[in-house]
Amino acid sequence: MTADVTTAERLGPLGYGAASVGNLYREVSDAQSHAALASAWDGGIRYFDTAPHYGLGLSEERLGAFLADKPREEFVISTKVGRLLDPNPDFAGGDDLAFDFAVPDRTVRRFDPSEAGIRRSIEDSLERLRLDRIDIAYLHDPDAYDLDRGIDEGLPALAKLRDEGIVGAIGIGTNDADAAARAVHEGELDLVMIAGRYTLLEQPALAELLPLCEARGVGVVAAAVFNSGLLATDQPAANGRYNYGAVPPEVLARATRLADVCRAEGVDLPVAALQYPLRHPAVRSVVVGSARPADIAENVARIHASLPDGLWSRLHETGLIP
């Protein structure tokens, strides 16, 4: 492996996930988007994660516009490959809300992990981001389409781009811990972005993925650590979201117990949720996103907040964390 160690080291404890500025769930104006990104930058965040999937390219375009006047050596960009954006031949003024993005569906996603497809994806992303290189490229959710093809074609293609210096580091981005572990076994990865599977609420990534990454020197980026917002407030709500849908009663009960223990220790649940993944030696960064500047500033404060010594022991004693 020709791991780009310096890239992993530059991520910082908190990264910004730019799905929200791609109009995730709701429309966000250009001004709101800029204010959110400015809040992240002003808070010291220098790692920004995006994808063509987010708003059918809108997230990359807005991120590129914001970073255009920032010194290139001061920030790290990750984007994703595997979903190409092609013109929608049936466009009739519709939107992309079936995929949770409030944007016109002028383009459609097409899974293509071939070398040609991945090269085109990177070229398109570079144009939208206004950059001449990508720091990190993740193969995006191949398990949702064809995991075998993603690993057999996509990962070697990414390794070629890394060898050519077109991207600095490569990895997989997924919410499936088993798929990520298989990619680490079979690919030559530098990083894994695991979404929702290593959080204060649930830790299936501990079974195989994280020990494997630690043994092989593969860095881990923990995303969706609030589990679709369930852990983003001090009192989990029954009408909240979990895994992009309704919250099952047993999951709500567990989240409520977590909140109760944290409260007893004088800690807000979102603070513990943000900091928990960073306790594992393989985890390099936690990525969260919002289009609200105040939320971003609050997350910056949370990631640096001091926690009482007994918090993790108490959560372990109650059987809520391993």
Q: 260: how many CB neighbours lie within 10 A of its CB?
A: 14
Rounded to whole angstroms, the Cα distance separating 47 from 102 reads: 25
Whole-Å CA distances, 205 to 32, 50, 288, 321 = 35, 22, 18, 13
Query: Is residue 54 annotated as a catalytic residue, yes or no?
Result: yes
Residue closest to 289 by CA, chosen among 62, 4, 135? 62
Residue closest to 192 by CA, chosen among 45, 178, 276, 202? 178
**Paired sense of beta strands 107-111 and 83-87, if any:** antiparallel
The answer to whether 82 and 121 are in contact (CB under 8 A) is: yes
Rounded to whole angstroms, the Cα distance separating 171 from 181 reads: 11
Contacts of 304 (CB under 8 A, 6+ apart): none
Rounded to 5°, the CA angle 259-197-48 comes to: 95
Rounded to whole angstroms, the Cα distance separating 17 from 287 reads: 6
Residue closest to 101 by CA, chosen among 37, 53, 32? 53
Q: 134: how many CB neighbours lie within 10 A of its CB?
A: 22
Rounded to whole angstroms, the Cα distance separating 54 from 3 reads: 27
Choice among 54, 198, 242, 276 that is catalytic: 54
What are the structure tokens assigned to 235, written together?
Answer: 């009192």
Rounded to whole angstroms, the Cα distance separating 65 from 8 reads: 24
**Paired sense of beta strands 95-96 and 101-104, if any:** antiparallel
Q: Which positions are catalytic?
A: 54
